[in-house]
Amino acid sequence: MGFFEKIKQAFTGEKPAEPTAAEKKYDEGLAKSRQTFGDKLNSLLANFRTVDEDFFDDLEETLIESDVGFETAVKISDELRQEVKLKNAKTKQAVSEVIIQKLIELYEQEGADEDAKLHFATDGPTVFLFVGVNGVGKTTTIGKLAYQLKKTGKRVLLAAGDTFRAGAIEQLAEWGRRVEVPVVQKPARSDPASVVYDAVKRAKTEKFDVLLVDTAGRLQNKVNLMKELEKISRVITREIPTAPQEVLLALDATTGQNALTQAKQFKDVTPVSGIVLTKLDGTAKGGIVLAIRNELHLPVKLVGLGEQLDDLQNFDPEKFVAGLFGGLLQSTDADQQQE
């Protein structure tokens, strides 16, 4: 059974079991994106008469408005021209199903060689370096991840490497108190690399399992940011040659295409191993994951699906697709029954 068939089966009354807690979180967290995406597609199809060039122009515009990205929208539209002819899709229901199928297939293809897992050291401390502009939820993500790792029995240490803002240090310290995890910090304006050095030494000496490092995100001064991140990375690698195991870029899903722009800029500044997509539950812009895959070829590794401590989830492509397109598949079935 193909990927599309499995997803469709899950939303046509043939689901074999109750959804898991993680599936429910994806379903709830993507409700806004699913509804908005469905509304846009249904609006496009409301005046459906025939599959012509005007239809494909409107489809392209609809996809761009859904934040799947310009390149992705054009690619999907071009491929659909051939697919619709090939399958001789003429009804509203048939065309809608082909659109969803093509979105899912493209999503699967772009992520075929993707590694969405977080990598941990086989020996000694694991180091995750977090980058991203201020306000995207980077520090909150670190706090929630620390909580979850601690729940699995790991000893976790945090490093307040964003010394540019006193508020960032205080915020991470507060998260440390909240989840009962120690934080290495120095006064504002201290050298970030010296904070990270102290944190790495402590992680090694006291045998912590995981060190999570916060950093500044001043993209308006790329040269200084690049030098700062390079210095931090050198300090980490000098002390632990296999680290950092992950360099995770935090992006705010609510900003849509701006998040994609930020990702491109950060890729120019520092190597990135994966994306943390925050605030996914508070946005209708879930389609940005398609754009990230198609245009950046960076794996999404963590997603924020709510405000609770356990609402930070490992990214699961199938759960994401089911959460984003499930309602649309249901609606196409309803249309089919009415026709």
Q: Is there a binding annotation on residue 123?
A: no
User: What is the mean predicted confidence (pLDDT) over 311-330?
Assistant: 75
Q: What is the mean pLDDT of residues 12-21?
A: 62
Quote the radius of gyration of the chain (alpha carbons, Å). Answer: 22
Please name the residues in contact with 261: beta carbons below 8 A apart, sequence gap of 6 or more. Answer: none
279 is in an annotated binding site: yes
Flag whether 278 is marked binding: yes
Residue 31 marked ligand-binding: no
Q: Is 58 annotated as a binding residue?
A: no
Confirm whether residue 286 is marked as ligand binding. Answer: no
Residue 131, SS3 per DSSP: strand
Confidence band, pLDDT 50/70/90 cuts, at residue 173: very high
CA angle 188, 190, 192 (to 5 degrees): 110
Other CB atoms within a 10 A radius of the CB of residue 199 amount to: 28
Mean pLDDT (whole number) for 150-165: 95
Q: Are 235 and 201 a contacting pair, CB within 8 Å?
A: no
CATH topology classification for 22-114+320-338: Four Helix Bundle (Hemerythrin (Met), subunit A) (1.20.120)
The model scores a pTM over 0.75: yes
For the chain, where do the domains classified as CATH 1.20.120.140 start and end? 22-114+320-338
Any binding-site annotation on 281?
yes
In the chain, the percentage of residues whose pLDDT exceeds 70 is 88
Distance CA 6, CA 49 (A): 30
Residue 283 is assigned to a ligand binding site = no
Strands (E), 126-262: 126-131, 156-160, 183-184, 210-214, 246-252
Whether residue 209 is annotated as binding a ligand: the answer is no
287 a known binding residue? no
Q: Residue 335, annotated ligand binder?
A: no
**CATH, range 126-316:** 3.40.50.300
pLDDT at 339: 46
Contact residues for 299 (Cβ-Cβ < 8 A; gap 6+): 111, 114, 115, 116, 273, 274, 275, 315
> ∠ CA 23-62-321 to the nearest 5 degrees?
15
- pLDDT tops 80 at residue 267: yes
Higher pLDDT: 88 or 156? It is: 156
Binding site annotation covers 132?
yes
Q: Is residue 49 a known part of a binding site? A: no
Indicate whether 338 pLDDT > 50: no
Distances (CA, A) of 89 to 38, 105, 151: 19, 17, 51
Of 239, 288, 284, 272, the residue nearest 130 (C-alpha):
272
224 is in an annotated binding site: no
In the chain, ranges of CATH 3.40.50.300 domains? 126-316
> What number is the average pLDDT over the span 163-175?
93
- Is 274 annotated for ligand binding? no
Q: What is the pLDDT, as a whole number, of residue 171?
A: 96
